[in-house]
Every structure is written in structure tokens, then in C-alpha cells.
């Protein structure tokens, strides 16, 4: 399993810099710094954009459907002609019709035909698929031969962070494809894959070793890797009941392709994160220190005092859910140490979110002693209290929040746990 690096701390630091400098007198140097900070914050806050491109009939839409886990993009030679289609995360399914120069229009559910009738510049489809919280899929219109049809592909590739060029395994990596891909910026090629589609067809399957050997020699710096995929077989493998056919998923190339896609997306996120950290360390945080002067030292002392006060009241680790709970609280302390000032509203909101997550987890049952069935109710009450504290001012709400967290810690320590039926850890 490939984990995406967390970006919450860096985004908060960037937002703090942007807030602190918002009302300062503008000058070219400040405008340049703010532009960099804003670009970093937007990049780290959004999903990594994966573009699917290729010549007509290369199977890019089928591949995007497979990775999205939903059959939403039309495929085949007679399919509905669409502009750029973006598949992204949404709490509820919806279709957004977009134009470069006017306000978008939103339809509930998946409505590609209705959206296409509006003659949009692009369409965005929102799905409640967890993987789409980390990556968004950009299905680009098919490219043709050496005519004007390939130019929109080059223009749209500017909007993606990583790319998958789909080449039809029956006639893989033609000269027209090389010509187009040679015009793609090096940075994108370094974050791209060459997917050999239709690898499930007998003519392709029989010659696959020879084709892959040739493509691996020719790829040079054009792609990071060459990955064969039998998309229909992969889709069939994941659709098996009562559970997917994982052996088939692996042999058809689905597992290999999915891992490569996640790896290039994770690496791109890490690269963006390192660039943001470099600017924070070199420019943004030192500027804030100069801007805030001696107050920062006192603020850091306040943060340390808050952490020490809570840690003194926390019980020792006694069970898995308590360990997760304390780790979640520790993340708040880490943020306080990184902050130049304690912001009560942000601190209280973080506390409320963590308590709410654990309240939902406890409601599922199985992690605490049955005699402690009153504890989930305590977490529900704490959620409401922390919400009310956000409307108060001064230091008192912070102290009250600390007391609430400490009391909940005592409750979990007392409750014990049932390790044999432990639930997965939360994402806090």
C-alpha cells in the first residue's frame, strides 16, 4: 500500500503566512512571495491530477473507468464525443458543466449526455470514491494523426501533474505518438507512464514480451515506466462476487498499473511538499518571525505550557483505542509547537473534529468493555461542548477544552479494550 504524504501542517503554515501578510503594503517582493505561498497552498490542498491521453481507440477512457471504479466514461468507436472530462471526489454524485469564460452549471447525478448537449469546454464528474480524495482523473479527448487534433491534447496536458499515455498494443507506440509526446515538457514526462492497452487480446498477448522489450529500449526519458494492461479483464476481476478475483487482477496487469499510478502521484505530492517546505524554511517563516518580533517567543512558550498541562493529566497507555486517541491529541500539540501564535478557534475546532471522529468510531462498538457503554455518550456531549466553546473568547475556553480531553482520556483508560475485535484506526 502506497501512502500519500500528509500536507496539513504545511498548508496551515502557508495559510498563516498569507493571512499575516494580507493587509501589508504591497511591493513586488511581497507580491512574489504571496504568489508562491498561494500556489503551494493550492497545490497541496488539491488532489494530484492524473491525465489519460492517447490516440483514438487506445482505450484511455476504459482505463480511467477502471481506476475510478465506476463505468461512467463512454467507450468504443461510436461513443459520445466529449471534451475534457474530470473525475473527482464529491460527497454526492454530480456533473458540472464548465466553460473557460463563464459560470458553470451543475446537474445532480451522472449526466454526461445532458452535459455534452450544453457544448461545454470541460465536464467534471463528482463521485464518492475514497481514492479520489488523493487523485483526480483527467480524461483528455483522443488525439489524431499529425493534424490539428493533437494540439488540444498538448494544451490540456498543462493542467495535469502526472500522465498516462495509452498506446494500443496491436500497433504500439507509433510515430505519430512519438511526435506528440516529444513536445510534452520534461517535468511531466518524468511523472508519466506508457500504458500498453488491449494486452488481453491474443495477438497482443502472444507478442507482449517482444513489444515490451522494444518499448523499454525506446522510452529513454519519455516515460518513467512501460506498463501492459488488459483493461476488460481487470474490470471483470474487480467485479467478481462476493469478493474481487485478486489473482486475475494481478495477472492481467491491474495491480501493477494501479501501484505505478499511485506511486507517481505520491512522488509528485512529495516533490510539491518538499518545494513548499523549502520556501517556508527559507522565506515565509523567517519573514513571519521578523514581522511578529518578540511576541513569537512568548507564543511558543504558551504552546509548550498547554502541551505540558495536558500531558500531566493524561493516563498511561493501556489499550489500543486509547493509544490512537493520544496519538490524535499529540497531532494537535505538534501543530501548536509549529505555530507562532495559539489561535483558540483553530485549536477548539481541531479538538472538536477529533472527538467527533472517535465518537463515531465508538458507536460502531467492539473496542471497549461492554460495561462502559456510556462512554460513547460522553464523547457526543464533548463534541457539543467544544462547539459551544468556539463562541467564547479569552483563555478560559482553551483551559476547558484541555479538561474535556483529559477527562475523555481517563474514560478510555478505564474502559479497557477488546483487542480481538479492534476497529481500524481513524485518519486523525
pLDDT(295) > 60: no
Is 50 strand, coil or helix?
strand
Judged by phi (left if over 0) then psi (alpha if -120 to 50, else beta), residue 400 lies in alpha
User: Which residues, in sequence order, are CB contacts of 97 under 8 Å at separation 6+?
Assistant: 104, 105, 106, 107, 115, 118, 120, 123
Q: What is the pLDDT of residues 273-287, one digit of tens each?
A: 999 999 999 999 999
Instruction: Quickly state the pLDDT bin for 160 (edges 50, 70, 90).
Output: very high
Share of the chain above pLDDT 90, in %: 47
Q: What is the pLDDT of residues 94-145, one digit of tens each?
A: 999 999 989 999 999 999 999 999 999 999 999 998 889 899 999 998 876 5
- Rounded to the nearest 5°, which phi and psi values hold at 143? -95, 150
For residue 354, whether the previous peptide bond is cis, meaning omega lies within 30 degrees of 0, is no
- How many CA atoms does the CB half-sphere of 261 hold within 13 Å? 29
Q: What is the pLDDT of residues 400-423, one digit of tens each?
A: 888 888 888 888 877 655 444 444
Look at residue 123 in the predicted model and tell me its pLDDT: 95
Q: What is the pLDDT of residues 219-264, one digit of tens each?
A: 888 999 999 999 999 999 998 888 999 999 999 999 999 999 999 9
Better pLDDT: 47 or 326: 47
Considering the entire predicted model, what is its pTM?
0.69
pLDDT(51) > 80: yes
Instruction: Quickly state the pLDDT bin for 307 (edges 50, 70, 90).
Output: low
**Calpha distance 353→331 (Å, rounded):** 12
Look at residue 396 in the predicted model and tell me its pLDDT: 78
pLDDT(299) > 80: no
**Residue 59 burial by Cβ neighbours in a 10 Å radius (0-12, 13-18, 19+):** buried
The mean per-residue pLDDT over the stretch 331-341 comes to 65
The mean per-residue pLDDT over the stretch 146-164 comes to 84
Better pLDDT: 374 or 79: 374
Nearest one of 350, 324, 323 to 426, comparing CA atoms: 324
**Calpha distance 396→402 (Å, rounded):** 10
Nearest one of 348, 425, 330 to 384, comparing CA atoms: 348
Q: How much is the mean pLDDT over the chain?
A: 84
**Calpha distance 253→197 (Å, rounded):** 10
Instruction: Quickly state the pLDDT bin for 149 (edges 50, 70, 90).
Output: low
The count of other CB atoms within 10 Å of the CB of residue 87 is 27
Helix then strand then coil, in percent of the chain rounded to 5, is 55, 10, 30
Q: What is the pLDDT of residues 12-50, one digit of tens each?
A: 889 989 988 988 877 899 999 999 999 999 999 999 999
Nearest one of 112, 33, 35 to 79, comparing CA atoms: 112
Look at residue 424 in the predicted model and tell me its pLDDT: 43
pLDDT(190) > 90: yes
Look at residue 77 in the predicted model and tell me its pLDDT: 59
Amino acid at each position: 500500500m502506497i501512502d500519500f504524504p500528509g500536507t496539513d501542517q504545511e498548508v496551515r503554515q502557508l495559510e498563516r503566512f498569507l493571512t499575516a501578510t494580507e493587509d501589508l503594503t504591497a511591493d513586488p517582493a511581497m507580491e512574489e512571495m504571496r504568489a508562491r505561498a498561494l500556489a503551494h497552498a493550492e497545490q497541496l490542498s488539491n488532489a494530484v491530477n492524473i491525465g489519460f491521453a492517447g490516440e483514438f481507440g487506445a482505450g484511455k477512457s476504459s482505463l480511467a473507468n477502471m481506476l475510478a471504479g465506476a463505468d461512467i466514461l463512454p467507450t468504443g468507436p461510436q461513443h459520445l464525443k466529449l471534451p475534457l472530462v474530470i473525475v473527482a471526489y464529491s460527497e454526492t454524485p454530480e456533473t458540472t458543466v464548465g466553460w473557460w469564460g463563464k459560470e458553470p452549471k451543475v446537474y445532480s447525478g451522472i449526466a454526461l449526455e445532458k452535459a455534452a448537449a450544453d457544448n461545454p469546454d470541460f465536464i467534471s464528474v463528482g463521485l464518492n470514491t475514497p481514492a479520489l480524495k488523493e487523485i483526480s482523473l483527467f480524461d483528455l479527448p483522443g488525439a489524431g494523426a499529425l493534424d490539428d487534433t493533437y494540439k488540444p491534447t498538448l494544451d490540456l496536458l498543462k493542467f495535469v501533474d502526472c500522465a498516462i499515455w495509452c498506446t494500443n498494443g496491436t500497433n504500439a507506440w507509433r510515430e505519430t505518438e512519438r511526435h506528440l509526446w516529444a513536445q510534452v515538457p520534461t517535468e511531466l514526462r518524468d511523472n508519466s507512464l506508457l500504458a500498453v492497452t488491449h494486452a488481453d487480446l491474443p495477438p497482443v498477448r502472444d507478442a507482449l514480451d517482444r513489444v515490451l522489450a522494444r518499448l523499454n529500449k525506446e522510452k529513454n526519458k519519455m516515460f518513467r515506466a512501460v506498463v501492459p494492461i488488459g483493461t476488460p479483464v481487470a474490470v471483470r476481476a474487480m467485479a467478481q462476487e462476493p469478493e474481487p478475483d485478486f489473482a486475475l487482477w494481478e495477472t492481467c496487469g491491474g495491480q501493477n498499473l494501479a501501484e505505478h499510478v499511485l506511486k507517481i502521484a505520491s512522488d509528485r505530492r512529495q516533490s510539491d511538499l518538499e518545494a513548499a517546505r523549502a520556501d517556508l524554511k527559507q522565506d515565509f517563516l523567517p519573514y513571519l518571525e521578523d514581522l511578529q518580533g518578540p511576541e513569537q517567543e512568548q507564543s511558543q512558550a504558551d504552546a509548550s505550557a498547554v502541551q505540558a498541562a495536558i500531558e500531566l493529566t493524561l493516563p498511561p497507555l493501556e489499550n489500543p483505542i486509547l493509544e490512537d486517541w493520544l496519538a490524535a491529541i499529540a497531532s494537535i500539540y505538534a501543530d501548536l509547537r509549529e505555530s507562532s501564535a495559539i489561535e483558540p478557534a483553530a485549536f477548539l475546532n481541531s479538538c472538536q473534529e477529533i472527538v467527533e471522529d472517535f465518537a463515531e468510531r465508538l458507536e460502531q462498538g467492539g473496542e471497549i468493555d461492554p460495561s462502559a457503554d456510556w462512554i460513547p455518550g460522553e464523547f457526543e456531549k464533548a463534541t457539543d461542548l467544544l462547539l459551544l466553546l468556539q463562541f467564547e473568547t479569552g483563555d478560559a475556553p482553551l483551559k476547558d477544552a484541555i479538561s474535556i480531553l483529559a477527562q475523555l482520556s481517563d474514560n478510555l483508560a478505564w474502559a479497557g479494550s477488546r483487542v480481538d475485535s479492534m476497529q481500524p484506526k481513524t485518519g486523525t
